[in-house]
Amino acid sequence: MDILRLPALTDNYIFLLYDADRAIAAAVDPAEPQPVLKELDRLGATLTAIFNTHHHWDHIGGNEVLLRAFPQAVVYGGAEDRGRIPGQQVFLQAGDRVEWGDRVAEILFLPGHTRAHIAYYFPPVEQSDGWGELFCGDTLFAGGCGRLLEGTPAQMVASLSQIRALPDRTRVWCAHEYTLKNLQFALTVDGENPDLLARFAAVQQARQHQEATVPSALGVEKRTNPFLRWDQPALQRSVSSQDPIQTFARMRGMKDRF
């Protein structure tokens, strides 16, 4: 399975999963149809699936046009998003498995950003490079996490804990290019973290050259992303709390105002 990153809108990414042997593809969170249609034409591939992580317009905006072009494509989304995702046919819950091409995705239920958010995790397979692939929408970003629009801090900590439990060798395919600003904020609460300082310098250089910073590696996120480090004493001191959920909530509030 190849993964192609397609820029969309202002700062979104659409991910196109491509099985060259079968000449099929699946779109993850197609914000708009044109980048997907253009890439499918270039590849000579048929769209067989749309994997939505949640119902926001900048993740589902391309569904209807893509379905008109490929009416046999199957639309997947969370069970709790019933009625909110155009064309949805499969309603996924925690622990479900989705077969696509020669890979199988495990479904994580991740409420917080929305009440119905899910993620698709493809574990590594034999004879691969040993990396898993996580398509997590707006739950975890490179260096940050999504706003709490329909959920609570406790829910988001529980959701991020599921992601944090995945192997370090997991590529995080998040849906926005927010990394530089996320790390600028991270430095305000974890500014003595040497891994964070090194990452910030590297991301600054990459963005100066208009290079993408997605995917990131989950091992890097665990060392540098404050929203996966709510139980670290340095971060707790930064927000004057020893309670993990309160630490997370205070950081998220600070980031909302940053």
59 among known catalytic residues: yes
Assess whether 21 carries a catalytic annotation: no
Q: Which two tokens stand for residue 228?
A: 């996966």
Q: Within 10 A of 100 (CB to CB), how many other CB atoms are there?
A: 20
Q: Which of 55, 81, 113, 190 is catalytic?
A: 113
Q: Rounded to an integer, what distance in angstroms lies between the CA atom of residue 68 and that of residue 63?
A: 9
Q: Per the residue annotation, which of 59, 81, 117, 190 is the catalytic one?
A: 59
Q: Of these residues, 55, 81, 117, 138, which one is catalytic? A: 138
* Cis preceding-peptide flag for 215 (omega within 30 of 0): yes
Q: Which of 29, 54, 55, 81 is catalytic?
A: 54
Tell me, yes or no, if 209 is annotated catalytic: no
Q: Which of 29, 58, 81, 190 is catalytic?
A: 58
Other C-beta atoms within 10 Å of 6: how many? Answer: 19
Measure the CA–CA gap between 220 and 245, rounded to whole angstroms.
Answer: 22
- Give the Cα separation of 223 and 196 in Å (integer): 7
CA atoms of 155 and 148, how far apart (whole Å): 9
Q: Which residue has the tokens 């930064």?
A: 238
56 an active-site residue?
yes
Count of C-beta atoms within a 10 Å radius of residue 91: 15
Catalytic residue among 56, 81, 117, 190: 56
Sign, CA torsion 90/92/96/98 = positive
Q: Which of 29, 55, 81, 176 is catalytic?
A: 176
Determine whether 55 is an active site residue.
Answer: no
Task: Mention every residue, 6+ apart, whose C-beta is less than 8 A from residue 135.
Answer: 15, 28, 29, 51, 53, 119, 120, 121, 173
Instruction: Give the residue numbers annotated as catalytic, written as ranges.
Output: 54, 56, 58-59, 113, 138, 176
